Amino acid sequence: MEHEMRAEYEEGVLPHADTPVKIWHMVRLDGTLAMCGRELAPAAATQSAEVWGTRQGEPFCHTCGALYLREHPGDIA
């Protein structure tokens, strides 16, 4: 299954190119429902699942990380 990372922002903040990311979540490719169950904005920034576990992917949702690892145990960065 394909995944990507999607940004969550502070409450009431609209996503724009320069909006600071509160936390990154893992979603199914092109989805808006994070693996942890949080619904994310369709316009939120995304990045490749391959940056998971790197500085570029921080801060990252711990719950999404645990669930992602269960589906991709060989992808530990």
Q: How deeply is 16 buried, as exposed, middle or buried, from its count of CB atoms within 10 A (0-12, 13-18, 19+)?
A: exposed
First-residue to last-residue Cα distance in the chain: 18
Strand arrangement, sheet containing 23-28? 23-28, 3-8, 46-48
pLDDT (tens digit, 0 to 9) for every residue of the chain, 77 residues total?
A: 699 999 999 988 877 778 899 999 999 998 999 999 999 999 999 999 999 989 999 999 999 999 998 987 765 55
